[in-house]
Structure 1
């Protein structure tokens, strides 16, 4: 049974009352006559294409009474626009209206007409500032879900490609889209994801894709390694979909979530495939090496400094040459915090002041920090190498996971010497091996379960037998 009546005045009045029109300056309405019948348009300023609405109204003014005798005839003969729907429930109409859809009530219709001529404020489709590549596509996802869907559809022209829409949040009613190829995706995982999204009982997705991730997978916070791969690149997302993965998009978020994810997937980057196999393999192996160096360099150096008898003569240059006024462990921990401080300062500094900030940071943390006796040059050197290694891969989450394991191993090494170092390494390895993912697959797949073909593909940039390069 319809929530509306055939009296346009009553429908218009009830609709305004439910949406508290007098308290919202951006909610606009226009009452007109169509084919001799009273009608009311409702739209949100900033979400509507005003020129399109003007053209529709101009067309509606030319309709005759027989064209609006009932809603079926009106939609068939009197509606020139393509994206049109009808609804008889207040909840659906209000949700569509708040999402930017124009609502039309006509006298004699016990249903509302939904005209999707909306547009959203958005920035340009520019390359993401974090996921940059040396060669390849220069477009990136934006905060508008429809445009992001178009960027994927442009790359995947397959009849099996599907993008299913869901609404999450009793208050925000955020649009969430699940993207996959029907004959490639893991159906059990797909159904599991759908059921989890349908059962979500939250008021809003405050932080968009991150809020959805935490609602979908209630994991323990103690393991720092990322459970999902995030990307702002359409080419990365489309490659993942073509590989049988699931991509989840949330409206108002330029980042998409890729499921399932292993540690090899997170370390992988588009540049691996934008060059010839030999160059791509070199880039990938270099990134793997930097990942290991980033986690282990400073703990190993601290262990050798505390046990200088273990240092062979050809490595004697790694010892601290100047007098140590501040214990090495405190130097490294302070520098860890200083790097994060500089990172936050760089993010929050206006672009006009970024150069002065770099100069001040270089002088204070570099020259004056050494001459004042706070730090030794060796500590600064090794922390600089670690920082460069952290930025060698695109995932923020992976960078901070490596940082936490490194700091944890440093503290154990400083307190328990060699035993602490090996304990820290063991904890880091266990965090990787036993990390849980939403798909239920191993985080170190294809190492476990062992798949030689997949492992070869994960380590080396190779051409697959069926001719695909990704």
Structure 2
């Protein structure tokens, strides 16, 4: 009997060392006595649901004997009332479960341990994302708990075909990721491709959540600014995408859900399009396409026309600059591009109480004073102000910055080579888009290349609900 107790002591000491009992103040290890046998329980203090654990322990302590219990699974079946409870024989998986918020129980004389899901994460309330607001529709949003996010998705899709497949990625962080898809609508080839990429991930940590996962499974195209995936923090957008056959990738500790597959034309869609009648939604989508093209071409075209005023037609002379200036136009345009990004970064660190004052101060100093000092001309501020405002019509930050970088390169090419630079820049942007490789999918230009007329038409306009397939 003494040999068995020594084995239990060794198991408990080994688990204490792996879990950091004594090193970390929040790791709790408690010794109990269940049915006349020694037992030990581990839980992270910040995760523990005291009510559930107290009820479970209260049921174990009065057990008179475990002599008639042959296995740990039999103990769990008879005495564990927690809904999510499994017997785990792999020590590493058991340790990872504790770090994920679960409770581990081992009992003298039984191999393995019982893993109980008695956790309660610190969570913020379900609120609408700041960057995806709607006039009509639901005003909830995803949070940092993948379990809560799955519940928000289940609330909207009450179908047995909805599948949520759990995986763990990262050799150190062991982050929970969930593949969400409709069993009868998903493209099995794309699903297998994504699952293999996730299982083959060779990274130590996914501390940056969705960005870490995206970079780990993305093709090696660091020089290409165009986004390889789409994100959403809205449960209604995620549910609609799943029902259309897309794959969702939920990642624990982030409210951003990845929508796959991704193509360039999918960025034309926006949630507000679908909360209005089809005609209004189609109009909004057309406006968004026009604004996206203007943000890319308005300042390069203006600079190209005023760069050589002698060749400008009489009807376009209103574009010319009448005021005197000392800083070259190309430097003015690039300087304002830089200042806009500085203001964006500064606004992220500005307290809400001072945000209005900061906006007024930035507008006065960087606008009026810069013109009076003849660093900038009013025309540059007008065109760049339009570009800065119009850029917010694009709901994807990644796509907005891809357009911005392309616009800056286009300005430099025009400065160097005039019209030839403009033409070469457009061809280069088209080649860059065509060479973009998404995480999974049929291509970045699908459904244009390869051509699928039905899917392309569906993306270019807001279609009414298909009553036969809704």
Deviations 1:314-355 (A, max 9, x none): 433222121132211111000000000000000111212212
Q: Which residue of 2 aligns with 1:94?
A: 95
The aligned residue for residue 56 of structure 2 is 56
* Closer/same/farther in 2, CA of residues 201 and 326 from structure 1, 3 Å limit: same
Residues 1:38 and 1:310: Cα distance change in structure 2 (over 3 Å): same
Partner of 2:125: 124
Q: Distance in 1 between matches of 2:138 and 2:120?
A: 25
1:44 CA drift (Å): 0.5
Q: Which residue does the alignment assign to 1:294?
A: 295
For 1:45, the equivalent position in structure 2 comes to: 45
Whether the aligned pair in 1 keeps the contact of 2:16 and 2:29 (CA below 8 Å) is: no
Asked whether the 8 Å contact 2:325–2:377 carries over to 1, the reply is: yes
Q: How many equivalent residue pairs?
A: 466
Query: What is the CA-CA distance between 1:268 and the residue it aligns to?
Result: 1.2
Q: Cα offset for 1:466?
A: 4.4
Contact 2:270–2:395 (CA under 8 A) maintained in structure 1:
yes
Map 1:182-331; keep pairs closer than 5 Å. Answer: 182-331=183-332
**Cα distance change of structure 1 residues 162 and 247 upon mapping to structure 2, 3 Å threshold:** same
Deviation at 1:30, TM superposition (A): 1.9
* Structure 1 residue 147: Cα displacement: 0.9
Mapped contact 1:413–1:419 kept (Cα < 8 A): yes
- The whole-number CA distance in structure 2 between the counterparts of 1:17 and 1:370 is 66
1:310 Cα deviation from its structure 2 partner: 5.0
Please, which runs of 5 or more residues in structure 1 have no aligned partner? none
| 1:269 CA drift (Å) | 0.7
CA distance in 2, matches of 1:67, 1:342: 71
**Partners in 1 of 2:439 and 2:172 — Cα distance?**
26
Question: d(CA) in 2 for partners of 1:349 and 1:468?
Answer: 48
The 2-side partners of 1:412 and 1:462 are apart by 40
Partner of 2:393, secondary structure, is: coil
TM-score by length of 1: 0.95
Q: Deviations over 1:393-448 (max 9, x none)?
A: 11011000000110001011111111111111111122222221222422122222
After the TM superposition, which residues 385-404 of structure 1 pair with which residues of structure 2 at under 5 Å, given as runs?
Answer: 385-404=386-405
Give the stretch that moved more between structures: 352-361 or 286-295. Answer: 352-361
Matched residues in 1 for 2:18 and 2:127: separation?
39
C-alpha distance in structure 1 between counterparts of 2:339 and 2:73, whole Å: 67
Superposed, 1:296-445 pairs within 5 Å as: 296-445=297-446
Structure 2 length as normaliser, TM-score? Answer: 0.95
**Does the C-alpha gap of structure 1 residues 188 and 5 become closer, same or farther in structure 2, counting only changes over 3 Å?**
farther
CA contact (8 A) 1:8 1:40 kept: no
Equivalent position SS for 1:366: helix
CA distance in 2, matches of 1:415, 1:17: 64
The CA distance in 2 between the partners of 1:132 and 1:5, in whole Å, is 60
CA distance in 2, matches of 1:412, 1:8: 72
**8 Å CA contact 1:67, 1:74 repeated in 2:** no
CA distance in 1, matches of 2:463, 2:73: 57
The 1:68–1:17 alpha-carbon spacing in structure 2 relative to 1, beyond 3 Å, is farther
Contact 2:262 2:441 in 1 (8 A): no
User: Aligned-pair RMSD on alpha carbons?
Assistant: 1.8
State the shift of 1:384 in Å.
Answer: 0.7
Q: 2:114 is matched with which residue? A: 113
1:269-294 CA distances to partner (integer Å, 9 max, x unpaired)?
10010111111111111110000000
Distance 1:26 1:465 in 2: 53
Question: Secondary structure, in 3 states, of the residue corresponding to 2:38?
Answer: strand
SS at match of 2:259: strand
- Judge conservation of contact 1:133–1:271 (CA < 8 Å) in 2: yes
Q: Contact 1:67–1:78 (CA<8 Å) still a contact in 2?
A: no
Find the counterpart in structure 2 of residue 19 from structure 1. 19
| 1:38 aligned counterpart, secondary structure | strand
Gaps of 5+ in 2: none
Post-superposition shift, 1:464? Answer: 5.0
Give CA-to-partner distance per residue, 1:251-273, whole Å, 9 cap, x none.
Answer: 11111111111111123110010
Q: Distance in 2 between matches of 1:312 and 1:155?
A: 58
